[in-house]
Amino acid sequence: MGRRLLLQALLSGLLGAYAVVPAFAVDQPAPPPKAGAKAPSAEDVAKTLNEAMDKAKAGDPTAQHNLSLFYWHGIAITQNFQEAINWNSLAAVSGSPKAAQARPEMVKKLDPKAVNAAMVWARGILTKEAEGGNDRAVLAMANSYALAFGFPNDIEAYFWFTISATSGSSKARRLRDTYGVTLKVADLIKTQARANEWFAKWRKTAPNK
């Protein structure tokens, strides 16, 4: 079985519905393998975990979501809810729909301080990536301030969507304008100036000069 198929099989067999449907029952144990299915070996599970971890650290939102499930259920790794919500937060704001579906159930089980710490952790990673030239990280930073993820801030969302729009994202332009109508003119001007300074520093060319 190829590595990609093995990953899918393991996640399906070990994590069951958690990875593929909206009903993400984090308080239920992983279901047993289907009848007739060969149980994956401990070595295969470990290899799959390592692959997910490598890809997650490289910025793959799907792998970040999968890694969060390994941590949440303690499969082939010590169960760690903080690490689970860390990687879930990063995956969710980076565009993983499955992570976004899983997030509400995870959040309900955790102390708000742990959830806040996870978002701070995710934003720290994304900020460094954005400063390093990763435009997808800029958009993810903007997404992290949306109401859906529990830490809304219209000014910061507008700031990051402005930078993302300047980098060429049409989606960011639409969202920048949506957030813009909620802000006072003074806040708009101040935030636009911040975005211009950021772009000048980290993208070498200021957009308005």
The full 3-state SS of 77-95, as one line of letters, equals CCCCHHHHHHHHHHHHHCC
The verdict on residue 128 lying in a domain is no
What digits encode the pLDDT tens for the residues 59-86? Answer: 999 999 999 999 999 999 999 999 999 9
- Judge whether 65 and 88 are in contact, CB under 8 Å: yes
Q: How far is CA 125 from CA 116, 128, 135, 178, 181, in A?
A: 15, 5, 13, 26, 29
Do 147 and 96 share a structural domain?
A: no
Domain boundary among 52, 75, 110: 110
Name the more confident of 13 and 82. Answer: 82
Interval 50-65 mean pLDDT: 96
Number of neighbouring beta carbons within 10 Å of residue 103: 25
Domain boundary among 62, 94, 110: 110
pTM of the model: 0.82
Give the whole-angstrom CA distance, residue 61 versus residue 59.
6
Interval 23-46 mean pLDDT: 62
pLDDT at 21: 30
pLDDT at 42: 84
Under DSSP, is residue 38 helix (H, G, I), strand (E, B) or coil? coil
Do 98 and 61 share a structural domain?
A: yes
Q: Is the pLDDT of residue 206 over 90?
A: no
pLDDT at 32: 56
| pLDDT tier at 38, thresholds 50, 70, 90 | low
